[in-house]
Structure 1
Amino acid sequence: MLLENLNHLSVFKALYFNGPISCPEISKITGSSIPNVAKSLTELIKTGIVEEKGFAFSKGGRKPLIYALDPDQFYIISVATDQFITKIGLVNLNNDFIGEVESFEFNLSDKTATAANLVNKIKRFIARLTIDKVKICAIGVTIPGFVDTEKGISKSFFKEEYGRLRDYITESTGYPTFLDNDSSAIALAELKFGFGREIKEMMVLNVGWGIGLGMVVKGEIFRGFSGFAGEFSHIPLFKNDKICNCGKRGCLETEVSLILIKQQAEKAIAQGETTTIKPDKKGSVDISSVMTEAAKGDALAIKLISNAGYHIGRALAVLIHIMNPETIVLSGKGSEAGKLWFAPIQQALNELCIPVLLNDSNLVLSNLGVNAQLVGGAALVIEHIDQVILKKSNSNS
């Protein structure tokens, strides 16, 4: 396979994460000379992996040719699991989703949430695809909790059943699989396709059923010594004596999460508080409806998000003093509430942060949408495409 050539591989990655772009731009991204890049492009065009896309705009002089990957040369399966819902999508080399993203309930705390059941869902998704299955190059799986990306192990879920989750999925599906933490995957998506294209010191907040954190330091995902850096939810911020899921008391997650906002909304409605949030017949509230009604001005919904936002701001103040990030990006499911988070978070930051540090940190809303984790799962595969090639070469030898 041509991508076994390291120059070709670096060009391929540059086109996936930045294309369509010109030869000089690829040279700048990869650090390879223009003649070497041009040679790689010529050979990749011959195989159909790369296409010429016309000329770039130029204010003067010769217009450079623009190059892009052929989006249908091969595909990636991305699996994004949170505590309750799993999504599976097929991604092409344009980073576009092909067909509909499948979504299903998969409660990680339930006994039925086994690795075998997850694999069955993945295999059924693949079986329904109309594309040539040979063109599926790999699977990117992202899940909450402690994930050892090097060994492919989840230390929070599936750990007793099959040991190395990554290897089990690989063996069961026949496709190379890569495993990462959900918040790290969202940070990777932001690094490659969002604000990270311009900003290299960035904290990406995954506001979800818990509050996750992906850290970008010097343009790379920062994982810490053991690979588990970013456990933002478990900052011991409160003296509330509440036991967290981690077993400790007073963690941020004991006071702030979409689960708690949902529960608080249900309790308020049950007590007769006036609101436009509509529960179902069992009194259960859809968290998306809370955020939707907050955007419409519902007082209860705004209060719940504001309270949570203030506590997030308190925790972010600690983070700013330690890491001094240029930008903090709000992402995850909670980003559906949009800029409603900004005022309460900023209030806490103004109260608690040293101004010289706070003035250098911007708070922004991700523009990647609710499928950021899926995008990150696909990016995870491309980041490790050399391993995919190696495994395929070994299997063919």
Structure 2
Amino acid sequence: MSRPLHISGKKNTDPKKTLLGHFVRTGDITIPELSKEANISVPKVTVLVNELIRDGLIRDYGKIESSGGRRPNLYGAVPDSAFFIGVDVKQNHINLGLSDLRQKLVTVSEKVPYMLENTPESLQALCKQIITFINGLSVPRERILGVGINLSGRINYATGHSYSYFHFDERPLSSIVEAEVGIPVYLENDSRAMAFGEFSMGVVENEKDVLFLNLDYGIAVGILMNGQLYYGKSGYAGEFGHMPIFNNELICRCGKKGCLETRASGWALTRMFREKLREGSSSALSSRIVNPDEVEMEDIIQAALADDVLAIELIAEIGENLGRGIAALINVFNPELVVFGGSLMATGEYIWLPIKTSVNKYSLSLVNNDTQLKISKLGEHAGILGACLLVRNRVLGL
């Protein structure tokens, strides 16, 4: 029976974890290659690899072909020796997933009903959903080494504090949830986790400077600089939606006026659509939802996909406004690639074409010419995978 790794939030100094990290990162490898890559002597690597084999974390896959001399053995991580859970919290649902040591999603539970509110009841409901997911898994509980939870807003991943949701207790939110679920918990900003998932397993190939736009009820950006996630001094980098772009009197959810989110987000789309219905505009939704205040972003997205004219017009306006903000990011960061994900991208060309037109209109041509624009490949799985991979990296010290 395999023994679970000891988990620590500190920088990894365990040579066994170091080697396991190399196996996870590079795949199957020989002992001489591993010795060179990890800068550890061959005898020491041999001893550590044998210990990892006894722990059930590494397997000897046999000898490989060699151009001459003695054929070396190939070693690799055992996929089902360790697992990681990703919990991607949205405004009105949760996506949960379990990945193995080789970053394959083994189990996924999508769009589990849930309402995100800054209340003890909402936090308790979140813990209950995580526990239900864990109890439904077929893998041994001791092999689950960590749970990653993605939340919107300001997250300090290093301390485990959330300052936008569930901040009514002085203890780190990660500690509170960990006490409930019984497995180490790590917090991350949802857009940054989605970005990391896309950087690791999505449309990003060899690009080192990438922006990931999470377009949902709120909007934010995950930043990859020189191949590394960028957090900023306090871990709050990426609050794209709160750039003060507009000269309006609309109060943003952050309490300020003129933020990009007031006219270029799911919240803005929902507000604008409701206002139009109250003013007498017609929509296919009117026959199904009598009270305009009950219309949600998901309803508008589905209406647009069913060719509802009002929904399409307002989504185009949102896209044009988003393009202005994205152009500012391109002018500042000069990225190789900008990836677009989040719920609003489900509207396809209805938002994609206005965004691209606006980006071309407002960004500097010399900068824009060097930047590719792509749509997320992972979709709803981006946040789950990002959470799993970030937990894996923190547990293994990668």
Q: TM-score, normalised by structure 2?
A: 0.82
* Equivalent of residue 282 in structure 2, options 273, 279, 300: 273
Report the alpha carbon displacement of residue 13 of structure 1 after superposing the two structures with TM: 3.4
1:236 pairs with 2:244: yes
Q: 5 Å matches for 1:94-243? A: 94-101=102-109, 103-109=111-117, 111=119, 113-243=121-251
* Equivalent of residue 307 in structure 1, options 313, 317, 335: 317
Amino acid at match of 1:148: N
Q: TM-score, normalised by structure 1?
A: 0.82
Q: State the partner residue of 1:370.
A: 380
Report the alpha carbon displacement of residue 370 of structure 1 after superposing the two structures with TM: 0.8
1:317 pairs with 2:322: no
Report the count of equivalent residues: 385
Q: State the partner residue of 1:342.
A: 352
On the 8 A contact 1:269/1:275 being kept in 2, the answer is no
* Residues 278 and 53 of structure 1: CA distance in aligned 2, closer, same or farther (over 3 Å): farther
Point out where structure 1 has 5 or more consecutive residues left out of the alignment: 389-397
Counterparts of 2:32 and 2:319, CA distance in 1: 40
Counterparts of 2:273 and 2:322, CA distance in 1: 18
Q: 5 Å matches for 1:19-168? A: 19=27, 21-23=28-30, 32=39, 39=46, 44-45=52-53, 47-51=55-59, 68-101=76-109, 103-109=111-117, 111=119, 113-168=121-176
Counterparts of 1:212 and 1:25, CA distance in 2: 44
Match of 1:238, SS?
coil
- Which of 64-73 and 118-127 deviates more? 64-73
Report the alpha carbon displacement of residue 89 of structure 1 after superposing the two structures with TM: 2.5
- Which of 125-134 and 176-185 deviates more? 125-134
Match of 1:227, SS?
coil
Counterparts of 1:129 and 1:203, CA distance in 2: 34
Amino acid at match of 2:381: N
Identical-residue share of aligned pairs (%):
27
Counterparts of 2:122 and 2:350, CA distance in 1: 37
Counterparts of 1:354 and 1:322, CA distance in 2: 10
Report the alpha carbon displacement of residue 242 of structure 1 after superposing the two structures with TM: 0.4
Report the alpha carbon displacement of residue 119 of structure 1 after superposing the two structures with TM: 2.3
Q: State the partner residue of 1:392.
A: none
Report the alpha carbon displacement of residue 277 of structure 1 after superposing the two structures with TM: 9.1
Amino acid at match of 1:208: D
On the 8 A contact 1:186/1:372 being kept in 2, the answer is yes
RMSD of aligned C-alpha atoms? 3.6
Match of 1:139, SS?
strand
Q: Deviations over 1:10-43 (max 9, x none)?
A: 4533554564x55599869956589689846665
* Equivalent of residue 342 in structure 2, options 332, 341, 347: 332
- Which of 69-78 and 331-340 deviates more? 331-340
Report the alpha carbon displacement of residue 48 of structure 1 after superposing the two structures with TM: 3.4
Report the alpha carbon displacement of residue 175 of structure 1 after superposing the two structures with TM: 1.4
Counterparts of 2:31 and 2:286, CA distance in 1: 54
* Residues 340 and 34 of structure 1: CA distance in aligned 2, closer, same or farther (over 3 Å): farther
Identify which of structures 1 and 2 has the higher relative contact order when contacts are C-alpha pairs closer than 8 Å and 6+ apart.
2
Counterparts of 1:264 and 1:190, CA distance in 2: 31
On the 8 A contact 2:157/2:187 being kept in 1, the answer is yes
On the 8 A contact 2:161/2:173 being kept in 1, the answer is yes
Q: State the partner residue of 2:10.
A: none
Report the alpha carbon displacement of residue 55 of structure 1 after superposing the two structures with TM: 9.7
Match of 1:261, SS?
helix
On the 8 A contact 2:4/2:82 being kept in 1, the answer is no
Report the alpha carbon displacement of residue 112 of structure 1 after superposing the two structures with TM: 5.0
Q: Deviations over 1:141-187 (max 9, x none)?
A: 11111111111101111112353101122233321111111111111
Match of 1:145, SS?
coil
Report the alpha carbon displacement of residue 249 of structure 1 after superposing the two structures with TM: 0.1
* Residues 103 and 351 of structure 1: CA distance in aligned 2, closer, same or farther (over 3 Å): closer
Amino acid at match of 1:93: L
Counterparts of 1:308 and 1:36, CA distance in 2: 61
